[in-house]
Amino acid sequence: MQTIFSAAASALFVLGSTGIAAPLTTLSGEGWVADYDAALALAKETNKDVLVDFTGSDWCGWCIRLDNEVFSKDAFKAYADEHFVLCALDFPNGEEARAKVPNPERNAEVQQQFGIQGFPTILLMTKDGELYAQTGYQAGGPEAYVTHLTEITTAGKAALARVRELGTAYEAAEEAQRPAVLATIVDAYLEMGDAAPARNLVAYVEKAVALEGDAHAAMRIKALRALLTNGAASAEMTAMARRLDPENAEGLLELCVQSEMFSVQSIEELQPCLDKLEALLESGNISNATLVGEMCGNGARWYAEYLDNPEGARRLGTKALELGMENERMRDAVQMMLDSLEETAEPEAEPAVRG
């Protein structure tokens, strides 16, 4: 998936006139609908699910590879024709490609609705627009991709059924029983992790955060941790987590910093995030060492690549290795960066020799 920073990507909003649904010919070719609402309408007519491709047809290398390696192949086309209405929402840079996008303003709305930050992003949803799976580029060609889509469809629809069941249980419960149902929902939300249908539980998890009284204090903390861990905490929820855990005793503060790092949209936002990370390190109150270690690894790269601060890169890179990182590729990349910084460091001046 192509992004500006490893933790977040800048949304590409393109402007233009609205128009009717039309095949997208700039990238995915015939058989793709370029209008989201028209794709949903067609899905209801044909009783199919919808595959939505958020793509950058003239700039995103991984998008172009996915099209060339998978979407343009007969094996994929045959599978998709049976199971999906194909919808391509294009976010091109060039004027020629942008002129072919029939409804760019609506594309931007849909992008914001689903929180799309990287390209390509592939969403699978029911004919009613209920999201049940999300993926992106996968190596291996059309056959492997079809297998992948089949697997995430099965898992996603099972998760979606569970989400519906939990929502029904909450709505049917008496007021006195609802906290117990919310506790079950919070547990299920944590188990689902970043599964697409879990997003439909966020509103219920926020209800758990809003429960008052000492009896629900542990659930409030657990619900906030779940929202932050799954990257679904709103600004209000993040602020509440900071208030409830200012010293990081429950590990919420470090999750707040991680959440803010994930939400970065511009270079100007990097340093404020890094300042919060540095303050956390200075406090010495770290709950999850490997989590903070990987945050330090990412922060070191920000310092080195975007902020021209080799000293900051060395400091955070060294701390990242000290705390440890589960991601071996990140660990190797941090070590390589530190080695490179060491090689390019200016040698210390020789002391003057007095005669």
Reading the chain (355 residues) residue by residue, the pLDDT tens digits are 444 343 333 332 222 323 333 333 344 557 999 999 999 999 999 999 999 999 999 999 999 999 999 999 999 999 999 999 999 999 999 999 999 999 999 999 999 999 898 999 999 999 999 999 999 999 999 999 999 999 999 999 999 999 999 999 999 999 999 999 999 999 999 999 889 999 999 999 999 999 999 999 999 999 999 999 988 999 999 999 999 999 999 999 999 999 999 888 899 999 999 999 999 999 999 999 999 999 999 999 999 999 999 999 999 999 999 999 998 999 999 999 999 998 887 665 566 555 5
Give start and end residues of each alpha helix (H) in 70-172. 74-83, 95-99, 104-113, 141-172
β-strand 84-90 against 49-55: which pairing, if any? Answer: parallel
- Cross-strand bridge partners of residue 54: 89, 121
CA distance 90 to 86: 13
pLDDT at 231: 87
CA–CA gap between residue 155 and residue 295 (Å, rounded): 30
pTM passes above 0.85: no
- State residue 354's pLDDT score: 58
Residue 259: which H helix or E strand, with range?
helix 252-262
From residue 31, alpha-carbon distances to 78, 80, 339 in Å are: 11, 10, 50
Tell whether omega for the bond before 120 is within 30 degrees of 0, i.e. cis: yes
Q: What is the pLDDT of residues 209-253, one digit of tens each?
A: 999 999 999 999 999 999 999 889 999 999 999 999 999 999 999
Nearest to 228 by CA among 236, 123, 268, 156: 236
How far apart are alpha carbons 188 and 169 in whole angstroms? 13
3-state SS, residue 135:
strand
